[in-house]
Amino acid sequence: MKLRKASALAASVLALSLTATACGSSDDDNGGSGDGGGGKITVGIKFDQPGLGLKTPDGTFAGFDVDVATYIAGELGYTPENINFVESPSPERENLLKRGDVDFIVATYSITDTRKQEVDFAGPYFVAHQDLLIRADEDVTSEDDINNLTLCSVAGSTPAQRIKDEIAPDAGLFEQATYSECLAGLENGQVDAITTDDVILAGYAAQDQHQGKFKLAGLNLSDEFYGIGVQKGSDLRADINTAIQKMIDDGEWDAAIEKNVGPSGYAAEGAPEITETN
């Protein structure tokens, strides 16, 4: 293994710099009706995940999760113009649903037993695997290597929790508000790797400004089943499941994968079986 743990001084500098940027994610008006009232529906997505959920410079939204959300909203009777997209950082997803700020969330939202105590899920609609994003000239070849690294991930995410509890409890770990906040530290050598789901990492590595700088370590550390989050007890779950299945059956799911994920070179698995029905 070529990596060595980032120095304590560099880690301290990173902690200070990233904390300064993590005090708020968007100045947009993110208020939602939570009930589709007034002919509109409010949907939570990520704003900073290329290929999945990204707010573009012109204020539009693009990515696989955006296309899935748009398709589902269409099946529920809402045109694209009547969808209000709300940024949904990982630590805030349950709160957004419980407060009724959004009607549903499509935001690389892994289905877990812990989360199911607070919210319900439809789906799953995608399967990913936890991995590391590292600098292109370095290698991490085993899970044992990870304990010697300084990592960056997102607070409230399953990858961050799994690193602490299961994979590498001795690793250094910074938890930030968004994965994009970790990229500067990786590029500058202040952290050794970013850890989250492989499809998310592939999107960052494929961005024009990052071409040739980073690569996936190729470690399959977990199976992550992405679900559509809804309020506990919501009647929307059955309708969303029907919409997901229709999207798969009519070929729109495959088309959305090819358009949004294909350019990164990531080899997506086929659509998973829907299991979240009660």
**Beta-bridge mates of residue 84:** 42
For every one of its 278 residues, what pLDDT tens digit does the chain have, with 9 covering 90 and above? 444 445 443 444 444 344 433 333 333 343 333 444 459 999 999 999 999 999 999 999 999 999 999 999 999 999 999 999 999 999 899 999 999 999 999 999 999 999 999 999 999 999 999 999 999 999 998 888 999 999 999 888 888 899 999 999 999 999 988 777 888 889 888 899 999 999 999 999 999 989 899 999 999 999 999 999 999 999 999 999 999 999 999 999 999 999 999 999 999 999 999 999 98
Cα 264 to the center of its chain, rounded Å: 16
How many domains, in total, are found in the chain?
Answer: 2
Residue 172 counted as domain residue: yes
121 phi, psi to nearest 5 deg: -125, 145
Structure tokens at 127: 């399967």
Cα 265 to the center of its chain, rounded Å: 18
**3-state DSSP helix/strand/coil percent for the chain, to nearest 5?**
40, 20, 40
Cβ 159 vs Cβ 238: under 8 Å = no
* Structural domain range at position 230: 37-127+224-264
180 phi, psi to nearest 5 deg: -60, -25
Q: Give the residue carrying structure tokens 């968004």.
A: 178
Task: Report the CATH number that the domain containing residue 52 is assigned in CATH.
Answer: 3.40.190.10
pTM for the whole structure? 0.83
Same domain, 94 and 149: no
Structure tokens at 50: 């290329």
